[in-house]
Amino acid sequence: MVFVPSPPPPPTPDKGTFTLPQTYSFEKRKVAPSMVTKVGSDPLLDEKYFTTSGRDLYYSGPKLVDEKGNIDRDAYGGSSEKLYSEAYQFLASISDVAERRAFLNDLYDRGLYGSSKPSKSMFDSADREAVGYYLLAMDRYGTTAKAGLGLFRQEYPGGQAGGGVRVKVTAREDVEKVLREESLKLLGRAMTPAEVRQAVQFVQGQQVQRATAKMDIPSLSTQAELAVQQGRGTEVAVQGAARVAQVLERLIGR
């Protein structure tokens, strides 16, 4: 029986970006001696990112190093659409069904599924989201998805059915409550169910990204405010102008 994965999901409205800060300090990774030919060929391959120790060459820049020591590609993170697409492509690259299932169970055992579980198809949104969190960890390590599995297992020991060490996020219900308040304040209307789902994903995704990068996490109200503003700058500005006009009208009427 040949397994045919389901097609990738269609693009969705922007739900935020997942990128490390420019000040993030990467660990140096040993790379193949032939990588010296890449020095200076790209801004991310600047000479400042390379060091030597004896006859070994090391790289400490933001590009990802593969299991053979080649500086292979750019980071996985970026827009939500890019990250989910990268997750789908990585899953599809694992041709052995049993191996793919074992990998997803690894993520589940280490809490990356939250309250969900690996799906039967192994390509559902919950699967892609869990793999997306895994790929964000690879960005921090500076390694490709295959090369960084051992580092990931060290950081998240797991060992418990249902997810050992969990990446904690605020409960959906609590996020939705704050989103309702912020949407009325910033937009002057309630968000649609689809907008709420996207905003919740944005808030929880940012919490995971910042937690795994050991960065401070803003208050829930601040996160909700940013989520509401995503892709709605014009609408927020119009509502803000309307509020100013109302205040002026009240002042003039006194």
pLDDT value of residue 252: 52
The per-residue pLDDT of the chain, averaged, comes to: 80
pLDDT value of residue 118: 92
Selected residue with higher pLDDT from 249 and 104: 104
pLDDT value of residue 9: 42
Helix (H, G, I), strand (E, B) or coil at 246: helix
Compute the distance between CA of residue 128 and CA of residue 105 in angstroms, rounded to an integer. Answer: 13
Residue type at position 192:
T
pLDDT value of residue 225: 85
pLDDT value of residue 57: 94
| Contact of 172 with 200, CB cutoff 8 Å | yes
pLDDT value of residue 96: 92
Domain parsing of the chain, residue ranges: 29-73, 80-155, 172-252
Task: Give the pLDDT band of residue 4 (cuts 50, 70, 90).
Answer: very low
Task: Calculate mean pLDDT across residues 4-14.
Answer: 39
pLDDT value of residue 16: 56
Task: Calculate mean pLDDT across residues 137-165.
Answer: 78
Name the least confident of 54-58, 59-63, 168-172, 175-179: 168-172
Task: Calculate mean pLDDT across residues 219-237.
Answer: 76
Task: Calculate mean pLDDT across residues 129-149.
Answer: 94
Compute the distance between CA of residue 191 and CA of residue 185 in angstroms, rounded to an integer. Answer: 11
pLDDT value of residue 172: 81
* CB-based contacts of 156, cutoff 8 Å, min separation 6: 110, 111, 164, 165
Task: Calculate mean pLDDT across residues 100-129.
Answer: 90
Given a cut of 80, is residue 234 above it in pLDDT? no
